[in-house]
Amino acid sequence: MNTYAYIEKQDQEVFDALQGEESREASGLELIPSENYVSKAVREANGSVLTNKYAEGYPGRRYYGGQDYTDAVEQLAIDRACKLFNCKYANVQPHSGAPANVAMYFALMEPGDTVLGMDLSHGGHLTHGHPTTSINKVFNFVRYKMKDVATGEIDYDELRQVALEHKPKIILAGFSAYSRELEYQKFVDIAREVGAYAVADMAHIAGLIAGGVAKNPFDYGFDVITSTTHKTLRGPRGGLILVREDKEIAQKINKAVFPGLQGGPHMNTIAAKAVAFGEALHPSFREYGKQILKNAKAMEKVFLDANVRLLGGGTDNHLLLADVYGSLGVTGQEAEDVLDEIGITLNKNMIADETRTAMDPSGIRFGTPALTTRGMKEDEATRIAEIMISVLKDKGNQQLKEGYKAEIEALCAAFPVPESFV
């Protein structure tokens, strides 16, 4: 069956690009920890008739007519999100993770107020106040770091001292390239001490939390959680804001999303979120979460046995950050390029206290959500890690790379991308 039959008839150039991506994903391994494969059901919803409909406002309070089915699907998404994460309120309209964070900032703060978040080079995210971002011009961002890069331990004493000094309105727990579990209670205790909101950005680990294999910040008293809906949650590319129980906070966030930041929500994507949340509520999703962690631990062992330095000393979640420049003399960009040649996709990444540039850093970031979606387990994860290290140690050996490329293609053929998860 041709998924893109109408595009093929109408626009050959776009069709060729889509077919190329289908082939790339089928024949190669996706190790970027923020990427995954969605089910055909999610893809159908994302490409559905709901893309036609404007639905400014919220269920039951829209600005346009004809909202019977948009209201139904958005309420489904809200209810399922609340059930997944054990909270009272959810906003499913943010277009992605970055606008979810921006809306949350405007809901909880006034311009000039302070946010305390994780330093980008120690695992934080651009939206946590990096100087290059526009939001950094509106709010004041101060940062905390790891105390021990070898173990990944956050310097909670420093975090508390910075909080006492700067009196932030928000203390933000969350990351983009951090492989250990955070001590959520310490964040909450410090936030309460200085009168700040405790907010978690769980974009990377939302699926692990939903699957019950990672701690839920709400269980420790966090006020708000922001997230994406792809990555480990295995839904469409989109954003999500959750509120534990405070109705006033939820109302502020709703106003900050619409009309404060966005116009009409993308109802086709919200339908896809509803489908994905339904999949995550299925018992099989818990097994998926457990296997993600097992596969990450299998890869961790191979890298540690090969004396490749892992930031944080290893992983408690779905991702690993390796110092390939310090360990193997290969830059992050070189590693990304050479692994791409054999059908392994990952991303270059800065490491803590980086001495190189962001575009050619010392590290690589990789993870196990997508390969686990394909049904791969510890044996496959181990072999993939072995291949990665072997080719990075001998990156100029073309014959070696050709052999590994054939092996990767055979592995992908044995573990095709599934069409359904339930």
CA atoms within 13 A on the CB side of 306: 23
Buried b (16+ CB within 10 A) or exposed e, 291-329: bbbebbbbbbebbeebebbbbbbbbbbbbbbbbbbebbe
Active site includes 374? no
8-state DSSP, 417: P
Active site includes 193? no
Identified catalytic residue from 25, 56, 341, 407? 56
Sequence-distant (≥ 6) Cβ neighbours of residue 291 within 8 angstroms:
372, 377
What is the token pair recorded at 305? 């046995």
What does each C-alpha distance from 49 to 53, 248, 267 come to in angstroms? 8, 34, 9
Identified catalytic residue from 127, 133, 226, 228? 228
What is the token pair recorded at 70? 């948009």
Active site includes 56? yes
Measured distance CA(130)–CA(143) in Å, rounded: 10
Measured distance CA(65)–CA(239) in Å, rounded: 25
**What residues form DSSP beta bridges with 364?**
322, 348
- Which residue in this structure is represented by tokens 């992050």? 332
Q: How far is CA 64 from the centre of its chain?
A: 33
Q: How far is CA 207 from the centre of its chain?
A: 9
Identified catalytic residue from 3, 53, 54, 409? 54
Active site includes 252? no
Measured distance CA(73)–CA(79) in Å, rounded: 10
Q: Is 422 helix (H, G, I), strand (E, B) or coil?
A: coil
Active site includes 83? no
Do the Cβ atoms of 189 and 204 come closer than 8 Å? no
- Three-state SS annotation for 187-229: HHHHHHHHCCEEEEECCCCHHHHHCCCCCCHHHHCCCEEEEEC
What is the token pair recorded at 415? 């573990």
Identified catalytic residue from 143, 160, 215, 231? 231
* Helices assigned H by DSSP within 240-395: 247-257, 267-280, 284-305, 324-328, 332-341, 369-373, 378-393
Identified catalytic residue from 30, 74, 119, 201? 201
Residues 215, 220, 221, CA angle at the centre, nearest 5°? 135
Catalytic residues: 54, 56, 201, 228, 231, 237
